[in-house]
Amino acid sequence: MTEVVAGRGWPGTRLVGEQGAHAAWLLVQHATHAIASFADGRILRRLKSPGPDIRSLASSPDAKTLYCAVSGTIWAVPAAGGEARKLGAGDSAVVDPRTGDLIVKLDETAASRLARLPAGGGPEQEIPIRSEFRLIPPPLAPNAVGRDGRILLPVASADSWFWHLAVLEPETGRLQRIPVRYQTDFHYAAWGAEGEVIALGVGMRSSLWRFRPEAGR
């Protein structure tokens, strides 16, 4: 893994539409969604949010529907404007590009867990995690689900101060840690356009100093 400086759109924005003149980013601005042009940065339109505490944003594969997590609830908002529709419980969500279903993270008292929520509504389906690693508090990052359905997750372990990167196979629950050559707290992770892993990490460095009293004191 190579250290990079993340470019525009990471991690609090979400790309919708096609590349080119019609590309747009979803931006969180106070209690509203704003759709802005990727080409020139103009705000194209604003959408009323279901609430002020927007935890995460995602979009449907056809870019016609936005999904937001607000105060523990997942909502669907028409990208062209209109009334929001409540889908179910969740503290953050991303879209499975294969099906359009939502992968939802629920931060519960005992532990955080993942579930699959049909985009059209319906009961959630538990996503198993067969590992001693556990999910961390930050929300799921945009594009955390790859084209093959694998989910990139920052995870915690009992034997380390630092949060790690891992890949989850949602059908089997198999979770595999991604090895790196340095110690960093990984807070967000997403798949890049070429299938590479892009992650935001917070490093920690320290120095040990020795102080001696001045002579005669």
pLDDT at 103: 97
Per-residue pLDDT tens over the stretch 18-46: 433 333 344 444 445 666 666 676 676 67
The pairs formed by 28-31 with CB atoms below 8 angstroms and a separation of 24 or more are: 28/54, 28/57
> CA 45 to CA 79: how far, in whole Å?
9
Which CATH topology does 14-203 take? Neuraminidase (2.120.10)
Mean pLDDT, rounded, for 130-146: 93
pLDDT value of residue 120: 75
CA distance 31 to 86: 17
Q: Kindly list the domain boundaries of the chain, sorted by start residue.
A: 14-203
Dist. CA 117–CA 34, nearest whole Å: 25
Contact 13, 56 (CB under 8 A): no
Which residue has better confidence, 54 or 186? 186
For CA atoms 181, 203, 164, 59, give the dihedral sign: negative
Contact 139, 55 (CB under 8 A): yes
Segment holding 67, helix H or strand E: strand 65-70
The whole-model pTM stands at 0.78
pLDDT digits (tens, 9 = 90+) for 43-75: 766 766 777 777 888 888 888 888 889 899 999
pLDDT at 184 over 80: yes
Q: What is the pLDDT of residue 35?
A: 66
3-state helix vs strand vs coil in the chain, percent to 5: 0, 45, 55
Q: What is the mean pLDDT of residues 102-109?
A: 95
| For residues 195-199, average pLDDT | 91
